[in-house]
Amino acid sequence: MVVVLGAVPEAIGAAVRDLDVQALQNDRWPEGIGTSIYCAISALMAAGPRSRVDAALVVACDMPSVSTQHLLALVSQSQAGARRVGSAYTGDGGRTVIGIPAVLPQADWAVLRALSGDRGARDLFLLPDTLSVFLRSGNFDLDTPADVARWRGTHPPPTHPPHPMSSVATRALADLDHEIDGTRRMLERVPADHLDFTPHAKSWPLRTLANHLTDFGTWGEMTLTTDVLDFAHPMPPGPPVPTTAAGFVAQFDERMARFKAALAEATDEHMMGTWTMKNGDTVLMAMPRVAVLRNMVISHMIHHRAQLTMYFRMLDIPVPGLYGPSADEPGMM
């Protein structure tokens, strides 16, 4: 881990002295954050290939609301550091802004090493291949002594460490990462020239089925963050349906990252609490959250993913191995 020191380096250096970090002094810190990013990336690049660092997780020290769960969601969505993932939040005028904390892969490092001044990595975040995880309440930063005083007045120091991930969730959803990976690999092969294909008059078009597979992260997050879903109150319209495999994957990744971030904060008590689906006065389903996640989210996703494998077979699109090798993989019959 690299910690870049700017102002008051003696005090900050003393605070991190006993940590397993490499402290670097940035004498150009008054010019802006770009110089600090340059300093850190230069150190990582100088470490050479033996450092085995695939990506940099860039975090600012003045954003105290950023949670460990959010950072883990960024790393998870980066696909082991292969993809650029930024934090999305609502900026001025209601527009969505993407910035740090962010995972920046080695492919971006040459650009980062050329940074100067106060511009930071914003040009990279504007690129269409940038993924994002929504930062719900962590974009407040400490720029002045008044900001610090306001923060301390509303956020007293914790008296106990955060609770561990729910043991109920750990047992019931032990295969979660495997199933997410399998669905993602299917979405990577969605054919843009066959989105209207349907194998039967009663079947969905391929685009609708693929888009539905991206919904399960949202359903998982909703199960964890609400108590009731009432169809008598329609949900707001969703975003436009993607038209490329990359678009489906990006939508899937973003929603799954939010689901996993919510799951990381769930307690056993919360997982065993009742979640209800109803339509007005008619209760359609009422089960413990863990059962909803296992059956209506994960197993439901597996069901529709299996349908998509049939579409792929009919269109002669190679099917990836999901629970073992596929006949379409090299060396298999």
- The residue-averaged pLDDT of 115-125 equals 71
Mean pLDDT, all residues of the chain: 82
Give Cβ neighbours of residue 255 (< 8 Å, ≥ 6 apart): 214, 215, 216, 217, 218, 221
Domain co-membership, 18 together with 123: yes
Domain co-membership, 144 together with 277: no
Domain co-membership, 28 together with 95: yes
Domain boundary pick from 154, 177, 199: 154
Residue at 242: amino acid letter: P
Cβ neighbours of 315 (radius 10 Å): 14
Residue bearing tokens 């109920």: 168
Range in 20-24, 96-100, 292-296 with the lowest mean pLDDT: 20-24
Domain co-membership, 125 together with 210: no
Highest mean pLDDT of the ranges 37-41, 88-92, 123-127: 123-127
Question: Does a structural domain hold residue 17?
Answer: yes
Give Cβ neighbours of residue 177 (< 8 Å, ≥ 6 apart): none
Q: Is 90 exceeded by the pLDDT of residue 294?
A: yes
Q: What is the pLDDT of residues 160-206, one digit of tens each?
A: 444 556 888 888 887 888 899 899 999 999 999 999 999 999 999 99
Question: Does a structural domain hold residue 221?
Answer: yes
Q: Is 70 exceeded by the pLDDT of residue 4?
A: yes
Give residue 116's pLDDT band: very low, low, confident or very high (50, 70, 90). Answer: low
Question: Does a structural domain hold residue 303?
Answer: yes
Domain count within the chain: 2
- The residue-averaged pLDDT of 263-276 equals 93
pLDDT value of position 149: 78
pLDDT value of position 302: 97
Predicted model pTM: 0.54
Domain co-membership, 196 together with 266: yes
pLDDT value of position 160: 46
Domain boundary pick from 122, 154, 186: 154
pLDDT value of position 27: 72
* d(C-alpha 76, C-alpha 82), whole Å: 11
Alpha carbon 152 to its chain centroid, in Å, reads: 29
pLDDT value of position 333: 42
Task: Give the whole-number percent of the chain exceeding pLDDT 90.
Answer: 37
Question: Does a structural domain hold residue 211?
Answer: yes
Question: Does a structural domain hold residue 264?
Answer: yes
* d(C-alpha 69, C-alpha 115), whole Å: 29
Domain co-membership, 129 together with 41: yes
Domain co-membership, 115 together with 174: no
Domain boundary pick from 90, 120, 154: 154
Q: Identify the domain containing residue 44 by its residue range.
A: 2-154
Q: Write the DSSP assignment of 68-124 as a string of letters.
A: HHHHHHHHHHTTTTTS-EEEEEE-GGG-EEEEEEEEEEGGGHHHHHT--TT-TTHHH
Domain co-membership, 196 together with 287: yes
pLDDT value of position 297: 96
Structure tokens at 1: 């881990």
Domain co-membership, 126 together with 182: no
User: What CATH number corresponds to the domain at position 202?
Assistant: 1.20.120.450
Question: Does a structural domain hold residue 28?
Answer: yes
Q: Is 60 exceeded by the pLDDT of residue 132?
A: yes
Domain co-membership, 149 together with 6: yes
Question: Does a structural domain hold residue 330?
Answer: no
Domain co-membership, 149 together with 196: no
Range in 1-5, 77-81, 225-229, 314-318 with the lowest mean pLDDT: 1-5
Question: Does a structural domain hold residue 270?
Answer: yes
- The residue-averaged pLDDT of 286-304 equals 96
Contact between residue 59 and residue 72 where contact means Cβ atoms under 8 Å apart: no
* d(C-alpha 29, C-alpha 118), whole Å: 9
Task: Give the whole-number percent of the chain exceeding pLDDT 70.
Answer: 86
Q: What is the pLDDT of residues 52-70, one digit of tens each?
A: 677 888 888 777 777 776 7
Q: What is the DSSP letter of 143?
A: -
Q: Is 70 exceeded by the pLDDT of residue 240?
A: yes
Give residue 268's pLDDT band: very low, low, confident or very high (50, 70, 90). Answer: very high
Domain co-membership, 133 together with 84: yes
- The residue-averaged pLDDT of 271-282 equals 95
- Rg for the chain, CA atoms, rounded: 23
Cβ neighbours of 8 (radius 10 Å): 10
Q: Is 120 left (phi over 0), alpha (psi -120 to 50) or beta?
A: left
User: What CATH number corresponds to the domain at position 27?
Assistant: 3.90.550.10
Contact between residue 318 and residue 326 where contact means Cβ atoms under 8 Å apart: yes
